[in-house]
Amino acid sequence: MNFKKVFFTVSGMILLLTAVSPAAAEKVVPPPPETRNFDFVKQGELVIYPLFESAGFYYRALPGRLSALAGLRGEFREADGREWRAATIPVIDRPADVLKGSALGLKEGVKYEFRLVDSGGTVVAAKEFRTWSSTVPVARTIDISKFPRENGIIVIREKGTPNGWVRLSVPKGHVLRGVEKAENVILFENAAYVILENAVVEGGTVDAIRVKDSRDVRIVNCDISGWSDPGIRSWRIDRPGQFWSDGKNVNCQAGVAIWTSRNTVVERCYIHDPLSRANSWQFSHPAGPTAIYVRNTLGGNVIRRNDCIGSDEHRFNDVIESSENFDDEGGFFRDSDVSENFLVFGNDDGIELEGGGINVRFFNNRIEGTVCGTSTGSCRFGPMYIFDNLIARLGDEVGNSFIAFKNGGGGQYGQRIVVNNTVYAPVAAAYNTYGGAYPGIRMAFSRNNLIFSGPHQKLNAQLLTDDLDHDLFWSGNPAAAEETLTAFRRFRQETDGMTADPKFRNAAVNDFRLEKDSPAIGKAVQVPGFPAWRDLGMAIPGDNWNRPVRQLGVTTDKQHFSFAPPRLAEKFKLFRPATASGPITLRLRKNKAADFFSVTPSAVTLYPGETVTATLQFLPEKFRGYPKRIGAFLYRSEEGLSVPFTVEGRVPFDMEKATAAARRDAAELPVRTVFDGKGTFSGKVRIASAGKYYMVARLRSPIHRRDSRFQVTVEGKPVETPSLPLRYRFKPGETGFRYTYFGIAGELKPGTHPVTITRIKGDETVEIDAVWFTRDPEPFFDNYYQRER
DSSP 712-770: EEETTEEEB---EEHHHHS-TT--S-EEEEEEEEEEE-SEEEEEEEEEEE--S-EEEEE
Residue 112 pLDDT level (bands cut at 50, 70, 90) = very high
DSSP three-state, residue 479: helix
- Cβ atoms of residues 440 and 467 within 8 Å: no
To the nearest 10°, the Cα dihedral for 351, 503, 535, 107? 40
DSSP 639: T
Regarding predicted confidence, which is higher, 178 or 438?
178
Instruction: Give the separation between CA 308 and CA 306, rounded to whole angstroms.
Output: 6
3-state per-residue secondary structure call for 659-712 = CHHHHHHCEEEEEEEEECCCEEEEEEEEECCCEEEEEEEEEECCCCCCEEEEEE
Above 50 in pLDDT, residue 22? Answer: no
Residue 555 confidence (pLDDT) = 96
DSSP three-state, residue 126: strand
DSSP 312: S
Summarize the confidence of residues 283-287 as an average pLDDT: 94
706 CB burial (10 A radius; 0-12, 13-18, 19+): middle
Residue 678 confidence (pLDDT) = 82
Summarize the confidence of residues 220-224 as an average pLDDT: 98
Residue 672 pLDDT level (bands cut at 50, 70, 90) = very high
Above 70 in pLDDT, residue 10? Answer: no
Residue 35 confidence (pLDDT) = 62
DSSP three-state, residue 176: strand
Above 50 in pLDDT, residue 15? Answer: no
Q: What is the pLDDT of residues 435-448, one digit of tens each?
A: 777 777 788 899 99
Q: What is the pLDDT of residues 121-138, one digit of tens each?
A: 999 999 999 999 999 999
DSSP 538: S
- pTM equals 0.94
Residue 458 confidence (pLDDT) = 67
Q: Are strands 232-233 and 73-78 parallel, antiparallel or unpaired?
A: unpaired
Identity (one letter) of the amino acid at 567? R
Regarding predicted confidence, which is higher, 8 or 719?
719
Residue 487 confidence (pLDDT) = 85
| Percent of the chain whose pLDDT exceeds 90 | 71
Instruction: Give the separation between CA 777 and CA 201, rounded to whole angstroms.
Output: 35
Above 60 in pLDDT, residue 3? Answer: no
Summarize the confidence of residues 672-677 as an average pLDDT: 91
Residue 365 confidence (pLDDT) = 98
Residue 28 confidence (pLDDT) = 45
Instruction: Tell which residue, 219, 373, 202, 215, has the closest CA to residue 275.
Output: 202
Regarding predicted confidence, which is higher, 365 or 8?
365
Mean of the per-residue pLDDT values of the chain: 90
299 CB burial (10 A radius; 0-12, 13-18, 19+): buried
Q: What is the pLDDT of residues 340-358, one digit of tens each?
A: 999 999 999 999 999 999 9
- Cβ atoms of residues 254 and 293 within 8 Å: yes
Instruction: Give the separation between CA 308 and CA 350, rounded to whole angstroms.
Output: 10
Summarize the confidence of residues 29-49 as an average pLDDT: 79
Residue 437 confidence (pLDDT) = 73
654 CB burial (10 A radius; 0-12, 13-18, 19+): exposed
Summarize the confidence of residues 49-60 as an average pLDDT: 97
| Percent of the chain whose pLDDT exceeds 70 | 94
How many CA atoms within 13 Å lie on the side-chain side of 411? Answer: 19
Q: Is the peptide bond before 565 cis (omega within 30 degrees of 0)?
A: no
Dihedral sign, Cα of residue 676, residue 678, residue 682, residue 685 = positive
Instruction: Give the separation between CA 759 and CA 673, rounded to whole angstroms.
Output: 11
Residue 215 confidence (pLDDT) = 98
Kindly report which listed range (85-94, 466-475, 615-624) carries the lowest average pLDDT score.
Answer: 615-624
Summarize the confidence of residues 218-238 as an average pLDDT: 96
Above 70 in pLDDT, residue 199? Answer: yes
- Cβ atoms of residues 409 and 378 within 8 Å: yes
Residue 9 confidence (pLDDT) = 28
Residue 733 confidence (pLDDT) = 75
